[in-house]
Chain A
Amino acid sequence: MNLKHVFIVFKKELIDMFRDKKTIISSILIPILIFPVMYGFMGFSTKKLIKDTQEKGIEVAIKAEDNNSSIVKFLKERKELKIVDADDAVGALRKGTVKVIIFVGSGFDDAVKDGKPVPLTVQYDDTNQTSTMGEGMVREIIGQFSSEIVSQRLQEKGIDPAIINPVNIIEKKLGPQNNQDNGMGLMIFSMLLPLMLAIYSASSVLPAATDNGAGEKERGTLEPLLTTQANRLSLLMGKYFAITVAGIIGTLASMVGLFIAQKFNPEILGQGNVFSISTVIIIALATVSLTLIFAALELAVSIYARSFKEAQTYLSPITIVAMVPAFAVYMIDPKNIPIGYFNIPIVNIVCIMKELIVSIVNPLHIIIAFAWAIIYIIIAIMFARYMFTRESVVFRV
């Protein structure tokens, strides 16, 4: 291998890649924008829904035998409910003009007075988000009504209503040492971030790998390149490093997008997560190692393909290869990961990230995972080299 040739190829491929509008759009622009746009719209529609519900109230139709019963009066007094007169209440619910129908049977007040349980039917449309939300609100209001009745009954019998709550639970979270209230945020973060980084590592190298292998073949530039004095390993490594850099830039762009989105919608990754520099560095190294593995694999497959289109067909499932192991440990508890997991490709890197996010720094786990990562990278490069030196693959003869 000639390092000078490697650098020449690397430099040329980077220039070529970043002059391509397609690469800029698919590797940088879309990853930066996709999350903010997606979560921006989601946040906007959710906020609008909540605002509309709070300001205008939920449209509720009450079908009661006695409109003067205590429950009807109680419901009519609630500001968050907008009582609507509807002859065909079920039809109105279907149309969406009414969100919830409350059916109050006859003799409601008498049954309450006698201390008997009273059935009350609440009908809603579970395909309608506002209706589902309204059902929750109505359930809560009726719960308050019930509590008042229970309280009244107990007081009438001279019993302190507090008696029905014998245990008063005080919730106290352990959380991370530097942020006591943020355990939930970290849990969400430890599930989502490794998954996303694994998927990005595979998907962000895809456009560059396609262009550098099959693209070079399709353009007819591979043959002249093979007649230069640069040997194949130098050509391959130059391309490989360029693809890896493109992949890392793509992953970084996705991360930037994700963090911008989090500003709009702080619940995405959990709030207030702060990590030490060493944690960030190890997570970054883990991501780079995944990118190095996928870059070599995808370049090898791309070299095998006859055309751009063929390469895209072969390469798309590789993202799934990244997703399967990442999803397999998606729900795993970072504090109890069996040591065997640190020997499984991709899973090991994902597990290391999970541990680091919840402040577990286990040197043995890190060494095992990175040792394997180095082995996988070497195997992946050897595979790419094998493909690039095989006449039957390069020329498909």
Chain B
Amino acid sequence: MITVRGLSKKFKAFEAVKRISFEAREGEVLGLLGENGAGKTTTLRMLATMLKPTEGTAEINGFDLLKQPDRVRGEIGILFGGEVGIYDRLTARENIRYFAELNNMEGSAIDKRIDELADMLDMKDYIDKRVGKFSRGMKQKVSIARAIVHNPKVMLFDEPTSGLDVTSTRIIHEFIEDCRKQGKIIIFSSHTMSEVEKLCDRIVIIHKGVIVADGDIPTLRKHFNNEDLEDVFIELVGGKR
């Protein structure tokens, strides 16, 4: 379980995230919905221990973000959106192995896990080839394998489908579904309503660093007396219908 308590982040005078609190549970996809610059990425970066909160903390499967950052990192896997950042001069196997080793995996367990992932993500044909000339979809699969090689219990997705074509987007969506089935805790940030509606069990709407709504989609629709989630979102962030 993830428990976020009064988490804040200030960059000089700018407060990107303001005392937010929420929870995420096993087998649940929590959508972090907000406009660009709302504070979604900053929140996920704090949960991944890449940024240190200015105030507040979070507990991830019992490990405190501030006191046990190394343990927290052992619990999480993170997938970023935009360009897939992998090492072009290494093979897919070497890329995945590098992250497995840095996540304290050893010996034959690594090879076994890589073979398992290659099978699961249908990468067997190119697992030992250098990734430089891979298609975007193939690279996306390598980055997924890299993120879950250490079998994390928590998956953080930071706008993972941003800029992806239909095929690559489907790979990600299927992967999120698999994670849900495996009972992982999933936080999925996005600004695309249809994607959030399709994948998430519950959503947290964040606007200018503040949580303006937290609940499951039917409850939000009922509360705002509107079937269209986009309208609900626009109403919450103060835009015009």
Contacts and interface: CB of A to CB of B under 8 A. Distances in A.
A224 B51 contact: no
A168 interface: no
A5 B143 CA distance: 20
A12 B11 CA distance: 33
A34 interface: no
A157 interface: no
B48 interface: yes
A230 B102 contact: yes
Nearest to B69: A231
B83 interface: yes
A219 B85 contact: yes
Nearest to A389: B52
A139 to B, nearest CB: 62
A223 interface: yes
Interface string A357-397: 00000000000000000000000000000000001100101
A224 B74 contact: no
Contacts of B49: 227
A224 B83 contact: no
B50 interface: yes
A224 B73 contact: no
B230 interface: no
Contacts of B48: 226-227
B157 interface: no
B160 to A, nearest CB: 12
A221 B87 contact: yes
A228 to B, nearest CB: 4
Contacts of A158: none
> Looking at A221, A222, A228, A230, which has the most chain B CB atoms within 10 Å of its CB?
A228
Contact of B73 (A9, A220, A229, A395): A229
Nearest to A221: B85
A140 B147 CA distance: 80
B127 interface: no
A229 B106 CA distance: 13
A224 B78 contact: yes
A42 interface: no
B236 to A, nearest CB: 26
A227 B85 CA distance: 13
A224 B89 contact: no
A16 interface: yes
Interface string B59-83: 0000000000010011011101011
A15 interface: yes
Interface stretch (B93-101, B170-178, B183-191): B93-101
> Looking at A219, A223, A229, A392, which has the most chain B CB atoms within 10 Å of its CB?
A229
Contact of B76 (A16, A227, A230, A397): A227
Given A8-B98, A223-B80, A229 B70 contact: yes
A220 B83 contact: yes
Contacts of A8: 98, 101-102
A226 to B, nearest CB: 5
B6 to A, nearest CB: 19
Contacts of A226: 48, 50
Contact of B89 (A5, A19, A223): A19
B41 to A, nearest CB: 10
A231 B88 CA distance: 24
Given A227-B48, A228-B103, A229-B74, A12 B85 contact: no
Given A229-B102, A395-B50, 6 more contacts: A12-B94, A219-B83, A221-B85, A226-B48, A227-B73, A392-B11
18 contacts: A5-B102, A15-B90, A19-B89, A20-B89, A220-B82, A221-B86, A223-B85, A224-B78, A224-B85, A224-B143, A224-B147, A227-B48, A227-B78, A228-B73, A228-B102, A229-B74, A229-B103, A229-B150
The 7 closest A-B pairs by CB, nearest first: A220-B85, A228-B102, A19-B89, A221-B85, A230-B102, A8-B101, A227-B48
Interface of B: 11, 45, 48-52, 70, 73-74, 76-78, 80, 82-90, 94, 98-99, 101-104, 130, 143, 146-147, 150
